[in-house]
Structure 1
């Protein structure tokens, strides 16, 4: 075997192991465990030819995703009860992998461990709560239209979930170690600093406040470990109203300081996990949103979003992102839907220049598992049109995965096909 072939085989080995693991787990029965995951993939072209183009202002914003996702993503894995104590405590293990590619082909996307943790469920001294340690997804509700996890507490750590006995709600506490690396001096090879931070999360959820309505609260305290680094915090309150025209409404208010803003964090500047500890207390983020999903009839459903986010700092000034959007869906048959999505965003510039504006419109005939808004899998064809102002041209070109193909133009069209499923 040549060295080139050997290197190629070694590079392919993690993917082969992951696929073998996934294939084996997928055939496991419910009695043995559960296999769950998420997949999206597709392909398209733009009016400028070449790859599909996606319309986004980048920076502190998120894009409207129907017919406007130019990437490929998979996450999935296995959850199994490992053992059960005589007193009924269940010991459950979870292992997931994920793979991401900023394009239509997974190609050489590198599989990585997304979850690897063990839980002890039903502990009497936690009033039926759960203890856990490992790497996991943790308290990450989202606005589906924007793919915005408005709070995301993922990470590696340990804690307690849904502990009873503390009033009308359930209490959760977890501690994580974020950005757990050292900065090495390239000349001397010595450690010069660290971006690491200890993050503590406190959650109080499911507090009933009105008929079919409840409140969740989440507080994060971030302690920087590096020299000349900064601590931070965030506090979020969410009100969820169930049984609203067959759906639910979530209203949220969030405020973060320094690394508590999530800015410079591991993904998408999400509030909850530690952002950059180089950010001081002058850096703040305020977010207010309302997200409504309704299903008034079996055939008709719609998601709405209204959001305002203001970022401030002494160095960068103030910038505000506001957005409004809707995704109406009508099922013509049990397995065929017509979907549309319109979203408009505006971002003010700290220097007082013209605000950036972008509007995106998509039409997507869809084959679906069922009539409901959340029914998946979905196999979609789509046509997407984007329109932006001159001030937004550079931002649209910079955030487009296929490069600055639009030049000085202020509109574009993309067409394609996409699947989305969770299981």
Structure 2
């Protein structure tokens, strides 16, 4: 509350002290909310395979979630650069629990609060920023998987143009809500490589400094991403990542106790399409290989897709099928999840049109190795023998959900 009050006071004072304050205010946000339960009468429990870093989200989200963002331009300088501040409130609460500001099931926080000086001639249109910011968030929508994400508390230079390329740099100390301790991290990106008509390449390197504890290590990672427009009527994205030590977080700060014997590789491929105004979707393939000392190696493969077909301008039928497999000590874990969702969208028939109001039915099945791992690592979860589905290795949920984003 003190932080929010201080931000409001700073905004108010800016109108008094800045002589040419701009008036542009941008309000944007995201919300998903609903209610659901298991088909056998218990509470809804979502399906995610232990060791998989994401889950297929349609009809498989067990929380209320909201982001409310406000951006205010404060001042336009004589050279055309613009000083702005931005803040975002985040609210999260699991289904079936009383909303709380803190505790085991829910929280509210300011997940963005930063200042930015943008459109700077000295940076050829780039910007300087400082604070807590969502930054270069690359994700796969259907699984909500942020595979390359430089969001953090820090400062940086954003997309300084030199020639045909765009250069970015970030120094940060915290890039994850649960991260402890604070760790210095530096990210350097170069984008704008025109590889072919409609194709663009971006590359990046991340260096994670060794924190002060005696059992900690430094680490690093590299990434390359190619985005191809007008590919079979859509957009195709291919990303390759590699990291060592704490760099095995591949887009995040990983475990600082890992040394350079710990290595991770990841390949990400996904394709968005809107073949006709009424038929669209997204498919993905993710493969990650983790090498760890002590026989804790792990391989994760995820393959899935979602498609949407609109029968009218406002009513569409959405289906999603996803398969996750994790090879790990104790056996190969497997999970298959399917959802069908009749959906009403007043915004139109497109795959990305929001808001959407969905009724959904979700069915999932998993093998014995998955149940054994869930019982050991995530007792009480949907796949565990102590969860809502007991010793069964299949289950289903029904519910209703609204999803909306706006800019």
TM range (shorter): 0.7 to 0.9
The worse-fitting range, judged by mean Cα deviation, of 233-242 and 368-377 is 368-377
Is structure 2 residue 340 aligned with structure 1 residue 363? yes
Taking the TM superposition and a 5 Å limit, the aligned residue runs for 1:87-126 are 87-103=79-95, 107-108=99-100, 109-126=106-123
Determine if contact 1:46/1:414 at 8 Å carries over to the other structure: yes
Aligned to 1:321: 300
Q: Aligned partners of 2:93 and 2:176: how far apart in 1?
A: 24
Is structure 2 residue 187 aligned with structure 1 residue 204? no
Q: What secondary structure, in the 3-state scheme, does the structure 2 residue paired with 1:295 have?
A: strand
Q: CA deviation at 1:392?
A: 1.1
Aligned to 1:24: none
The worse-fitting range, judged by mean Cα deviation, of 55-64 and 247-256 is 55-64
Is structure 2 residue 314 aligned with structure 1 residue 335? yes
Aligned to 2:404: 421
Taking the TM superposition and a 5 Å limit, the aligned residue runs for 1:170-181 are 170-178=166-174
Instruction: List runs of 5+ in structure 1 lacking aligned partners.
Output: 1-12, 22-29, 184-193, 263-270
Q: What secondary structure, in the 3-state scheme, does the structure 1 residue paired with 2:111 have?
A: strand
Q: CA deviation at 1:69?
A: 0.6
Q: CA deviation at 1:335?
A: 1.1
| Distance verdict in 2 for CA 1:401–1:370, change over 3 Å | farther
Is structure 2 residue 61 aligned with structure 1 residue 72? no
| Distance verdict in 2 for CA 1:31–1:335, change over 3 Å | farther
Q: Aligned partners of 1:293 and 1:32: how far apart in 2?
A: 33
Q: CA deviation at 1:401?
A: 5.2
Please list the CA deviations of residues 160-213 of structure 1 after superposition, one character each: whole Å capped at 9, or x if unmatched: 111111x432000110012799x9xxxxxxxxxx83311101011121101101
Q: What secondary structure, in the 3-state scheme, does the structure 1 residue paired with 2:172 have?
A: strand
Aligned to 2:231: 244
Taking the TM superposition and a 5 Å limit, the aligned residue runs for 1:24-39 are 32-39=24-31
Q: Aligned partners of 1:375 and 1:389: how far apart in 2?
A: 36
Q: Aligned partners of 2:64 and 2:176: how far apart in 1?
A: 27
Determine if contact 1:180/1:196 at 8 Å carries over to the other structure: no
| Distance verdict in 2 for CA 1:115–1:399, change over 3 Å | farther
Q: CA deviation at 1:110?
A: 2.8
| Distance verdict in 2 for CA 1:106–1:78, change over 3 Å | farther
Q: Aligned partners of 1:244 and 1:31: how far apart in 2?
A: 40
| Distance verdict in 2 for CA 1:366–1:106, change over 3 Å | farther
Q: CA deviation at 1:289?
A: 1.7
Q: CA deviation at 1:275?
A: 1.9
Please list the CA deviations of residues 101-130 of structure 1 after superposition, one character each: whole Å capped at 9, or x if unmatched: 232557113321111111111222211210
Q: Aligned partners of 2:79 and 2:40: how far apart in 1?
A: 65
Q: Aligned partners of 1:331 and 1:279: how far apart in 2?
A: 49
Is structure 2 residue 241 aligned with structure 1 residue 254? yes
- The count of aligned residue pairs is 379
Q: Aligned partners of 1:318 and 1:242: how far apart in 2?
A: 36
Instruction: List runs of 5+ in structure 2 lacking aligned partners.
Output: 10-21, 101-105
Q: CA deviation at 1:58?
A: 2.8
Is structure 2 residue 141 aligned with structure 1 residue 149? no
Q: Aligned partners of 1:295 and 1:396: how far apart in 2?
A: 37
The root-mean-square deviation of aligned C-alpha atoms, in Å, is: 2.5
Is structure 2 residue 354 aligned with structure 1 residue 376? yes
Q: What secondary structure, in the 3-state scheme, does the structure 2 residue paired with 1:296 have?
A: strand
Q: Aligned partners of 2:93 and 2:273: how far apart in 1?
A: 32
Give structure 1 regions of 4+ aligned residues with deviation exceeding 6 angstroms: none
